[in-house]
Structure 1
Amino acid sequence: MTSILVVDNYDSFVFNLVQYLGQLGAQCDVRRNDEVTVDDALAYDGVLLSPGPGTPESA
């Protein structure tokens, strides 16, 4: 099974992505963007960066 680290950028859409990846057979772990390190990410087969809240103009 593929393990995916999903980096949550404080937007609820992240859970839609996790559900979809789970349907595809991936094992997902969700971590907040300020709680994850590079060493954490290296332990996974892949990393998905979720979108953040708001629009690019308000970033």
Structure 2
Amino acid sequence: LKITAATDDGEVMGVQHWTYPVYGVQFHPESILTPDGKRMLENFIISER
């Protein structure tokens, strides 16, 4: 995987596969600092059923 995003201190925040269109990001919607984080998780769970 190729690192596509990182914090100033080097913590990996985003990656992508070298060949395939596969991407990943570090995101915690359950965090108290994310407005509507609980709703985002609920929507994701409902959409994946």
Structure 2 length as normaliser, TM-score?
0.31
Which structure has the highest helix share of the two? 1
User: Of the two, which has the highest radius of gyration?
Assistant: 2
TM-score (norm 1): 0.27
